[in-house]
Amino acid sequence: MRDVRDGTRAPMGLPRGAVALIPGILVTAHRASSWSKGQLAALIGIALVMWLLMKALYWHKRQVQLRKGEILSDVPRFGSDLGGVLNRHHHHIPTDETMDAWHLMPESEAPGAMEALAEIVQRFGAPNVFVISRVGCAMQRVSEIWLHETMHICQRTGLLRQNIHFCPEVEGPCGKGPIAAKLGITHFVDDKDSALRSVFQDSAGNSGRCIERHGGQLFFFSRSGLGDEPPQAAKWSLHSRPKCVVPVANWSQLMLNLNVRRCIKPGTSSWLPWKRSEA
């Protein structure tokens, strides 16, 4: 769960109202020395039920706010697609072998992807870098083999394994937008502009407000990161998409345009905006 400062959370994850009630109930129980053990047990039971109910209501409200993007991250957070971004599309893998073995081949990496991701982890901090990939069950299994057994992505880049997320759809309730909202994504790269649209404005959940708050960027990536020509608009037209959409041809272009530079202290949420004059 990302760290947020929404002003509603009290110690132990309790709503502030519950914290205010607990001391009063304890004082009442202390003063009621004439009460029977059964009465005291009933009072404590009522307090416990109230605490559990208020906690459940708090977390339900919080999850709704997260899905709607109403709770904002206090630091920039980067997300990346997998297929066609971190690894090459199957048409672009230089091999004579069958495509069933792509996940066992290190050369299926998109050019410069691991090096760039390692630098992004340094800039944003490991807790703030994620992979969000749309795959089916069978593709998820082979993708995990590619990530962890073939590429050893966590060891090579510093990416946290628990920060890798899979979803069955690009858009909608089971798509990338609601996941981005929950994680507080401010920067995202994908080779499908429909996925970027979902992250920015999906009605089922999006991180558009986080992106706007932090001056975030949505990188529209040329499939497989080959060549020097950025992609053309496909499902998200030029006139309807925001200025934060940045078409890039490859990882080198993305890193040149990325507007967040290294954390002040590695492992913390302190960060500084990147400025072109400092490049």
CATH number of the domain that residue 161 is part of = 3.40.50.1000
Q: Are residues 62 and 169 both part of a single domain?
A: no
Phi then psi for residue 24, to 5 deg, are -60, -40
Q: Are residues 156 and 26 both part of a single domain?
A: no
Q: Are residues 189 and 138 both part of a single domain?
A: yes
What pLDDT does 102 receive? Answer: 84
Q: Taking a C-beta distance cutoff of 8 angstroms, is the pair 225, 111 a contact?
A: yes
DSSP structure class, residue 15: B
What pLDDT does 191 receive? Answer: 96
Q: Are residues 196 and 58 both part of a single domain?
A: no
End residue of a domain, out of 42, 68, 94: 68
Tokens standing for residue 108: 């299926």
Phi then psi for residue 9, to 5 deg, are -95, 135
pLDDT bin (cut points 50, 70, 90) of residue 262 is low
What pLDDT does 63 receive? Answer: 61
What pLDDT does 30 receive? Answer: 59
- Average pLDDT across the chain, whole number: 82
What pLDDT does 158 receive? Answer: 97
CA angle 277/260/223 to nearest 5° reads 105
Q: Are residues 99 and 174 both part of a single domain?
A: yes
6 occurs within a structural domain: no
User: What percent of the chain has pLDDT above 70?
Assistant: 73
Tens-place pLDDT, residues 175-229 = 999 999 999 999 999 999 999 999 999 999 999 999 999 999 999 999 999 999 9
Is residue 17 over pLDDT 50?
A: yes
Alpha-carbon span 273 to 198, nearest angstrom? 25
Q: Taking a C-beta distance cutoff of 8 angstroms, is the pair 171, 177 a contact?
A: yes
Tens-place pLDDT, residues 86-96 = 999 865 555 55
Exposure string (b/e) for 6-22, b if CB count within 10 Å is 16 or more? Answer: eeeeeeeebbeebeebe
206 occurs within a structural domain: yes
Tens-place pLDDT, residues 132-167 = 999 999 899 999 999 999 999 999 999 999 999 999
Order of strands, sheet of 217-221, starting from the edge strand that comes earlier in the sequence: 164-167, 129-134, 78-80, 187-190, 217-221, 245-248
End residue of a domain, out of 68, 88, 115: 68
What pLDDT does 238 receive? Answer: 92
CA-closest candidate to residue 168, choices 213, 121, 134, 118: 134
Q: Are residues 60 and 88 both part of a single domain?
A: no
1 occurs within a structural domain: no
Find tokens 């999850």 and name the residue.
63
Q: Are residues 21 and 113 both part of a single domain?
A: no
Tens-place pLDDT, residues 231-260 = 999 999 999 999 999 999 999 999 999 999
Q: Are residues 32 and 57 both part of a single domain?
A: yes
What pLDDT does 8 receive? Answer: 38
What pLDDT does 90 receive? Answer: 66
Q: Are residues 118 and 194 both part of a single domain?
A: yes
pLDDT bin (cut points 50, 70, 90) of residue 10 is very low
Facing residues of 73 across strands? 4
End residue of a domain, out of 68, 92, 117: 68
Is residue 62 over pLDDT 90?
A: no
218 occurs within a structural domain: yes
What pLDDT does 5 receive? Answer: 33
pLDDT bin (cut points 50, 70, 90) of residue 275 is very low
What pLDDT does 176 receive? Answer: 98
Number of compact structural domains in the chain? 2
- Answer with the residue of higher pLDDT: 195 or 103: 195
Alpha-carbon span 180 to 205, nearest angstrom? 8
Helix (H) or strand (E) holding 123: helix 113-124
- Answer with the residue of higher pLDDT: 66 or 138: 138
4 occurs within a structural domain: no
Q: Are residues 143 and 44 both part of a single domain?
A: no
Q: Are residues 39 and 85 both part of a single domain?
A: no
pTM over 0.85: no
Q: Taking a C-beta distance cutoff of 8 angstroms, is the pair 113, 146 a contact?
A: no
Q: Which structural domain range is residue 229 located in?
A: 78-278
